[in-house]
Structure 1
Amino acid sequence: MKIAVLIPCYNEELTIKKVITDFKKVLPDAYIYVYDNNSKDNTAAIAKESGAIVVREPRQGKGNVVRSMFKDIDADYYIMVDGDDTYPAEFAKELLKPIINGEADMTIGDRLSNGTYESENKRAFHNFGNKLVKNLIGKLFKNDINDIMTGYRAFNRYFVKTIPVLSSGFEIETEMSIHALDKKFLLKEIPIDYRDRPEGSSSKLNTYKDGLKVIKTILFLFKDYKPLPFFSILALLIFLIGLLVGSPVIIEFVKTHRISKLPSAVLTMGLITSAIMFFVNGLILDTLVKQNNQNYELFLNNYKSTNPVENYTDK
Structure 2
Amino acid sequence: MTLKTEPGRTKPGTRRHPTGVKAILLWIGVAMVTLAVVVVLARWIRGLEPVQDFLLTYPGRSELPDGAPVGIPAWLGWQHFLNAFFLVLIIRTGWQVRNTARPPGHWTRRNTGLFKTRNKPTKISLDLWFHLSLDVLWLLNGLVFVLLLFVTGGWMRIVPTSWDVVPNALSAALQYASLNWPIENGWVNYNSLQLLAYFAIVFIAAPLAAITGVRMSSAWPKGHRRLDKAFPIELARRIHFPVMVFFVGFVIVHVVLVFSTGMLANLNHMYAAREGAGWLGFGFFAASLAVMVAAWLLARPLFLRPVAGLMGKVSK
TM-score normalised by L of structure 1: 0.21
The structure with the largest strand share of the pair is: 1
Q: Of the two structures, which has the highest relative contact order with CA contacts closer than 8 Å and spacing of 6 or more?
A: 2
- Bigger proportion of residues as helix: 2
Normalized against structure 2, the TM-score is what?
0.21
